[in-house]
Amino acid sequence: MTTLSPAPTLPAPDPRDPEDRLARFFDPGSLRPLAARDTSGVLAARGTVEGSPAIAFCTDATVMGGAMGLDGCRHIVDAIDTALRERVPVVGIWHSGGARLAEGVTALHAVGEVFAAMVRASGRIPQISVVLGPAAGGAAYGPALTDLVIMGPAGRVFVTGPDVVRSVTGEDVNQETLGGPDTHGRRSGVVHVVTDTEPAALATARRAVDLLAAQGTFAGVADEPDEDLGALLPEQRQRAYDVKPLIGAVLDEPGLELHPRWAPNVVTVLGRLAGRTVGVIANNPLRLGGCLDSASAEKAARFVRMCDAFGVPLVVLVDVPGYLPGVGQEWDGVVRRGAKLLHAFAEAVVPRVTLVTRKSYGGAYIAMNSRSLGATAVFAWPGAEVAVMGAKAAVGILHRKKLAAVPQAERDALHAELAAEHERIAGGVDRAIEIGVVDEVVEPAQTRRRLIGALADARPGRGAHGNIPL
């Protein structure tokens, strides 16, 4: 009779082990290293994500804190160039203190070559970064040059660390405050998605790879049920609301929201519509009344250019009162940064359909994928307003003298009457259709059916440009 001896105790695997991290990223059993493991501080491998081939590299935090030297950088450049040759996504998993000091300028030169490889591949293959530990100095700009940056709870991204900051500026700050998830997810916009755990960060990267690499095709609309999406907006037209439930109802299932806490007055989501990957851009009236401002215009512009570069069609949900007025905005460069959104839409060759749900005013009307910027189709829900400004505000300016001439008691009635008249001739959706800036009024229940139809019928396109991190 045999007795069971206790299992031999193996040393606990180091959670920072790059092979282990890559194995957790790829489909089980699919990992094949591109080169044998060495002391370079980087491991690169090929594998599959939901069955789609992809390349990934991971800095080796178990060697010199993941610091990058010549040999490690060569592995990264090779990984990116291999992915580019094979037209597959490349994912970087980062945990690195930056360039190897002992190698001096040799290491800086090598890190620069990584950046150059990323820019060569920009807009041609999806590049996704997952920051799981510190990514300092050179390692900070690696993720920043890619299309999407995902950060786990221990992720820290900064150019100079707390010690240098303290010695130069006297500011006393820890790594997390300087470059942790809250800082980059909410304040700086460096990070697109923040996750609570490391496995969730890797899972989010897998989702992004799947959405961008296996985009699918639009299913037919014959079986599309009618669902009254209009019920997701408040009855009072002046009342702000959260647009995310509407986006959720337009998509097949909840999508992957990018930059959820940074510039939240515009919402950008990658998801699937009738099975095909699409990008959704929507004003969110709950935040800043849905106004566009400098940060949200920049956020949307970068998203539009990324989708265009990878051939992802766009759905633009518009409910915008205008640009946010204010000295702060003008000094913040709302003109320069807002121009990016105009440029991004006007340049885009992917099918892109606009739906005005409630209102679209002024300069923001133009910026939100208007007909003038080349929208594939522009739909509006019944009662939507497309105008330079709200009718009441417009007649207050146009008929200031007329209004001032009547007694106070009659002024409100006259104002309302003039506003109704003005809306009929200048702001109503009928007028917008007449001059060809809106194609059609679409019943809310038909929204999905019509969006799918318009995008599926349009000629597919893919912009021939890089994806500079605007």
Burial classification of residue 176, based on how many CB atoms lie within 10 Å of its CB (0-12 exposed, 13-18 middle, 19 or more buried): middle
In this complex, which beta carbon is closest to other proteins, that of residue 66 or of residue 290? 290
In this complex, which beta carbon is closest to other proteins, that of residue 115 or of residue 241? 241
Of 240, 349, 388, 445, the residue at the interface with other proteins (CB under 8 A) is 240
Of 3, 5, 236, 408, the residue at the interface with other proteins (CB under 8 A) is 236
Q: Is 279 a catalytic residue?
A: no
Where does this chain touch other proteins (CB under 8 A) — which range of 95-103, 243-251, 318-326, 442-450? 318-326
Footprint of other proteins on 340-379 (CB under 8 A):
none
* Least Cβ distance, residue 330 to other proteins (angstroms): 14
- Are 92 and 54 a contacting pair, CB within 8 Å? no
Where does this chain touch other proteins (CB under 8 A) — which range of 76-84, 147-155, 252-260, 285-293? 285-293
Q: Is 240 a catalytic residue?
A: no
Neighbours of 164 (CB within 10 A): 13
Nearest to 85 by CA among 117, 109, 41, 44: 117
Neighbours of 144 (CB within 10 A): 18
Of 201, 324, 419, 454, the residue at the interface with other proteins (CB under 8 A) is 324
- Active-site residue, from 54, 107, 295, 364: 364
Of 76, 291, 442, 455, the residue at the interface with other proteins (CB under 8 A) is 291
- Active-site residue, from 362, 363, 461, 466: 363
Q: Are strands 32-33 and 42-49 parallel, antiparallel or unpaired?
A: antiparallel
Burial classification of residue 393, based on how many CB atoms lie within 10 Å of its CB (0-12 exposed, 13-18 middle, 19 or more buried): middle
Of 24, 124, 186, 287, the residue at the interface with other proteins (CB under 8 A) is 287
Q: Is 220 a catalytic residue?
A: no
Footprint of other proteins on 377-406 (CB under 8 A):
390, 392-393
By the rule CB under 8 A, 238 interacts with other proteins: yes
* Least Cβ distance, residue 290 to other proteins (angstroms): 8
By the rule CB under 8 A, 186 interacts with other proteins: no
- Active-site residue, from 133, 137, 142, 189: 137
Q: Is 364 a catalytic residue?
A: yes
Q: Residue 441's beta-bridge partner residues?
A: 380
Nearest to 93 by CA among 151, 39, 40: 151
3-class secondary-structure state, position 96: strand
Buried b (16+ CB within 10 A) or exposed e, 325-345: eeeebeeeebeebbebbbebb
- Are 467 and 306 a contacting pair, CB within 8 Å? yes
* Binding region for other proteins (CB under 8 A): 236, 238-241, 285-291, 321-322, 324, 326, 328, 390, 392-393
Catalytic residues: 137-138, 363-364
